[in-house]
């Protein structure tokens, strides 16, 4: 029963990580640049939701479209300030500009909302439901459902629509896409908007259960980066799988002494949430050494 409980928590956390990682990979593919502000976009989404909830105290699900819209607009502005003026410069310029914009986001959130942790309203309602002895948060179910819908929607958008074809063409080869008449800059701007909207939703989802502070973005970008590396640099489904693996690992590893009865008591102390971080980063190094293309293979041409 505990295994299932941990798995449910891991999947809910992983679903939100996946939205952040997806946006990270979308921008990576479209521009070849690592957007280090993607975690701060998650934070921004959380605070946008909190700001909206202060004005209009309704469930998070009602706020969701507004969060998507506002963070999408933020993504457009982000591309206009942080990417387009620097796109012909060396990649490190964009890399630095995303860090700078992330710090600006943090400080704007700090000045506007203060430093204290805050929570977004629940998507539907607070509380838990009991399913055969398994306590599942209503928010956790809603998070998984919303994330699954968004991932599916994003898949349909990219694979089944003309806009998606243009976005993919831009991601695969910008020069060729331009030669074919695709408005590459518009596609890149839309990619930033989509990535920011996904991160914004992740912020709305995560901040109810895990709260949000202006400096939380750093943690989320690390998770997105690791997910993209483990899943395969540039692979969308790899990023989702990577995010899920990270979240489930983070939650299951410290509980191994309870899950694996034959583990000697003398080594129980080795299984903590702190050691989980160490093992996670060791695994990341192992992937980089042994399978640098990630679990699903690498498609991005350039690694930052």
Partner 1 sequence: MRYSWLTGLMALLMLSPVHAEQSAPVDVSIPVLVPITGFLSLEGTSQRNGAVLAIRNAPPNLRVQYDVVDTGVSPEGAVNALERALDRGSVTAVVASMLGTQMLAMLPIVLERKVPLVTVSGTAQITEMGNPYVFRFFPGDDVTKVAHVRYAVEELGLRRLALVYQTTAYGQSGRRHIVENLAKHGLAPVFEEALEVQVRDMLPVLSKAKAANPDGILIHLHSGPTALFIRQAAAMGVGIPIVAGSAMHQPPTAALLEPEELRGVCAEANASPVSGGTPEMERFLQQYRETFGVEPDGFALGQYDGTMMVLEAVSKGARTPAEVARALAGMRYDGVAMTYKSDGRGNMAHSAVIMCFDGRTRVPKVVKRYDNITGALTP
- Is residue 118 a contact point for partner 1 (CB under 8 A)? yes
Closest separation in Å from C-beta 144 to partner 1:
14
User: Measured from the CB atom, is 13 or 43 closer to partner 1?
Assistant: 13
- Give phi and psi for 48, each to the nearest 5: -60, -45
Cα 107 to Cα 278: distance, rounded to the nearest angstrom:
30
Q: Which of 128, 161, 172, 301 binds partner 1 (CB under 8 A)?
A: 128
- Is residue 51 a contact point for partner 1 (CB under 8 A)? no
Closest separation in Å from C-beta 109 to partner 1:
10
- Is residue 165 a contact point for partner 1 (CB under 8 A)? no
Binding mask 30-49 for partner 1 (x = CB under 8 A): --------------------
Q: Which of 211, 249, 279, 304 binds partner 1 (CB under 8 A)?
A: 211
Positions in 68-97 near partner 1 (CB under 8 A) = none
Binding mask 221-250 for partner 1 (x = CB under 8 A): -----------------------------x
Q: Which of 255, 279, 284, 304 binds partner 1 (CB under 8 A)?
A: 255
Closest separation in Å from C-beta 248 to partner 1:
10
Please spell the DSSP secondary structure of the chain, one letter per residue.
-HHHHHHHHHHHHHHHHHHHHHHHHHHHHHHS---TTHHHHHHHHHHHHHHHHHHS---HHHHHHHHHHHHHHHHHHHIIIIIGGGTTS-HHHHHHHHHHHHHHHHHHHHHHH-SS-B-PPPSS-SSEEEETTEEEEHHHHHHHHHHHHHHHHHHHHHHHSHHHHHHHHHHH-HHHHHHTT--HHHHHHHHHHHHHHHHHHHHHHHHHHH-B-TTTHHHHHHHHHHHHHHH-TT-HHHHHHHHHHHHHHHHHGGGHHHH-TTS-GGGGGG-SHHHHHHHHHHHHHHHHHH-TT-TT----S---
- Give phi and psi for 76, each to the nearest 5: -60, -45
Question: By CB under 8 A, how many residues form the interface with partner 1?
Answer: 39
Binding mask 191-210 for partner 1 (x = CB under 8 A): ---------------x--xx
User: Measured from the CB atom, is 13 or 86 closer to partner 1?
Assistant: 13
- Is residue 110 a contact point for partner 1 (CB under 8 A)? yes
Binding residues vs partner 1 (CB under 8 A): 2, 5-6, 9-10, 13, 106-107, 110, 114-119, 126, 128, 135, 137, 206, 209-211, 213-215, 219, 250-255, 257-258, 272-274, 277
């Amino acid at each position: 029963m505990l295994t299932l409980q941990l798995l449910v928590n891991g999947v809910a956390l992983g679903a939100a990580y996946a939205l952040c990682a997806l946006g990270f990979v979308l921008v990576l593919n479209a521009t070849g640049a690592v957007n280090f502000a993607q975690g701060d976009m998650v934070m921004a989404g959380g605070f946008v939701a909190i700001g909206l909830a202060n004005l209009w105290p309704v469930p998070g699900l009602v706020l969701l479209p507004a969060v998507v819209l506002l963070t999408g607009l933020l993504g457009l502005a982000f591309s206009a300030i942080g990417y387009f003026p620097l796109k012909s410069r060396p990649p490190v310029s964009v890399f630095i500009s995303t860090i700078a914009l992330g710090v600006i986001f943090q400080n704007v959130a700090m000045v506007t909302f203060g430093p204290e942790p805050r929570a977004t309203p629940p998507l539907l309602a607070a509380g838990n439901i009991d399913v055969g002895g398994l306590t599942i948060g209503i928010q956790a179910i809603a998070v998984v459902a919303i994330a699954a819908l968004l991932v599916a929607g994003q898949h349909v958008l990219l694979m089944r629509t003309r806009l998606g074809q243009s976005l993919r063409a831009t991601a695969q080869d910008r020069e060729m896409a331009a030669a074919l008449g695709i408005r590459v800059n518009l596609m890149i701007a839309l990619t930033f908007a989509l990535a920011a909207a996904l991160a914004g939703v992740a912020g709305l989802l995560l901040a109810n259960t895990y709260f949000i502070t202006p400096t939380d973005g750093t943690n989320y970008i690390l998770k997105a980066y690791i997910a993209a590396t483990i899943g395969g640099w540039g692979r969308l489904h790899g990023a989702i799988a990577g995010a899920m693996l990270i979240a489930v690992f983070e939650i299951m590893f410290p509980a191994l002494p309870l899950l694996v009865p034959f583990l000697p008591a003398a080594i129980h102390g080795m299984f903590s949430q702190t050691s989980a971080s160490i093992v996670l980063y060791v695994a990341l190094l192992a992937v980089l050494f042994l399978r640098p293309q990630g679990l699903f293979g690498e498609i991005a041409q350039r690694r930052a």
